[in-house]
Structure 1
Amino acid sequence: MDVKSVFLNALIQEVYMEQPPGFVDFKYPNHVYKLKKVLYGLKQALRSWYDRLSKFFIENDYVRGKVDNTLFVKKFKNDTMYVQIYVDDIVFGSTNISLCKEFAKTMQGEFVMSMMGELIFFLGLQIKQMSDGILITQSKYCNELLKKFGMEGCKEAVTPISNTCNLDLDEKGIVVDNSKYRGIIGSLLYLTASRLDIMFVVCLCARFQANPKESHMKSVKRSLKYLKGTTKVGLWYPKRVSLSLLGYSDSDYAGCRLDRKSTSGTCYLLGRALVSWHSKKQGCVALSTVEGEYIAAGSCCAQILWMKQQLRDYGTELNKIPLRCDNTSAINLTKNPILHSRTKHIEIRHHFLRDHVQKNDCVVEFVETSKQLADIFTKPLPRERFNQLRIELGIINESCLN
């Protein structure tokens, strides 16, 4: 659903403004206007609209999410209604189609709204709903991106980055236009909402935005060449998956050539569906591979705890959530406090992982490096390994579903 003139529905407190140029009353030039309706540029407009909408939902027996305050849930006998708000757009669904029709009728009775129909396009994401699952792509945005930067006729690349690529400051390199470079990086970052396969290279290239060189631009353009051949690739969410959460954490020890900080990579699957992923350079220099893996596992644990709370709003309670790591020493560190005498260099704040393991919030398990799905977020990979992980994480081509 889409709310028409959304901010005109908001109720505001007393707000006054100066007489704008061209609308000054010559009889009373020093008077001010009292606003009756909110304006788009008014800072309290969004808050006022949300306050009115949330009050309306609560009066109609909806429960606001404890983690996500824009989520509202209403339970019936054997069915549940879910409503998600994004400014003036409302996405809703239910286990009973009649509840959706009743909700639409109720909302249109209170606000001036238009029914947009089944969700097929939202915030640049193209959603294709089928009998056996849902495919989320950004093919339209991807084609616009290639056209915007003049790469629609380029040759295709098999991977977004070469597995032999090692970017550094390249102080002697040729300087390129940083505004164009930043524009490409910003555009690619938005594309990572559904394209996890370019997550690592985009985050890597983003580190050189202050003073980009020709070598950095070459790596960015290779990502665009890769997108040229994979515009119709997207995330596949199959139906009837088990509601079991599983996390993977990995670290590329001292992978950054600038300051020798490690890169953490994590991903999370609900059943067989990928729901979250992360690639980020660590904030401190790890003095050992154990510390690098332990810090990565700690950030993975933090995200698992957040997702555990979020799932409660959907009526799902999970404990002992598996967290898979490919470093046995890091796993032992979460279980055996005696080892801490040899790991004093690891900051105390990272030891909260061991505390949550003892509380049974998560269970750190060993996984072979060959089966470590988070590997794609930490380092450049050869073509075979890259394609294998991409498939296992649910990245498929739209043509494969037809």
Structure 2
Amino acid sequence: LGFAFMISTFVAKAASATTVGFAIFIIGFLTQLVTTFGFPYSNTYEAYYRTIWSFFPPNVFAQALNILGKATATPEDKGISWNQRKTCQSFETDCIITVDDIYIWLISTFFLWFILAIYFDNIIPNVNGVRKSVFYFLTPSYWTGKGGKMREGGLCSCFGSNRPADDASPTDEDVLTEENLVKEQAAGNEVDPGVAVQIRGLRKTYPGSFNMGCCKCRTTKPFHSVKGLWVNLEKDQLFCLLGPNGAGKTTTISCLTGITPITGGDALIYGHSVRSTAGMSNIRRMIGVCPQFDILWDALTAKEHMELFASIKGLPSSTIKSVAEQSLAQVKLSQAANVRAGSYSGGMKRRLSVAIALIGDPKLVFLDEPVETCQIFISSLVTHKMPHVNLTIYILHRQLAWIQ
């Protein structure tokens, strides 16, 4: 099991998992077959062969089956009792490893592979390039959960290095004033207590690529999705970021929530840096996100979705049911609470995503292009709930009329 967890950290796609799993099955079958014929658990082979061979769990398991098979070869054989696990059996002419040794090997290698699985899962970049430092486990913040007030560079992209794009110079006077204010605060390492999010020159650049074909080479230039964003988002306010498709709105949210590593700059969310591993862990405890595209399970009902995310948020088990019912009532999904999400319309799915983002009373909510069916609910939220629960809402949209 531990070995399977370790292998899974290197496999990102389901199709690849099938191929890798079948390949490991074939390799395991062959090594077990070799083990059955006596390699390397006999005096003929050096000890280091057995040590290396035993790190692959199917090998020692095959040897255990081999010993047990010999112990029960005839009806008169009594097998191996628990008290006899540490001793060599009478039928073994070449006893190198006992059943007890095999137990020790299996348990030890389980913890070894499982620990390596946790380590690789943290340092190997995911599909978006997010990973932790190679020595993340040596930082006190990883064990205590404290810190993250300053940039550590814990979240980084390890694919290529691009020359930073020049910050786009704003032409609007208000935008320029806001940028200069944030730059002054950043230069003095100041954080306004009334600011929920301070974005300091945020940049995101996707590296170019080089593809070589049989007749020609194709090169794509780096794409600068976000070019130096400087802005303060005040607490208990509704902030709307308006822009056309491809303007970098969703990329900005992805950077602020840790989904995508940033190329340059920084952002502080309630004083925690998005470039810090501990900071991002603290940030995720206080935010809610409604992504541009719904991430729902068709087989689960709306109520099951709410209870699942309430558990992930760490809500007390005694309140999960009531919170789920209340949240669904707010988005007018009470009558469809026990209906599977796969049969929902697009608007109903969107309302469920908004309800999930708001569960657990987050301090900051990101809404990426909520549809018209959520407009009445969000308007009510801004009017009645925000003044009482210290909630900051960050909305992205491409239509000015919807924002107004």
TM-score past 0.5 threshold: no
| Structure number having the greater helix percentage | 2
Structure with greater Cα Rg: 2
Using structure 2 for the length normalisation, give the TM-score. 0.28
| Structure number having the greater strand percentage | 1
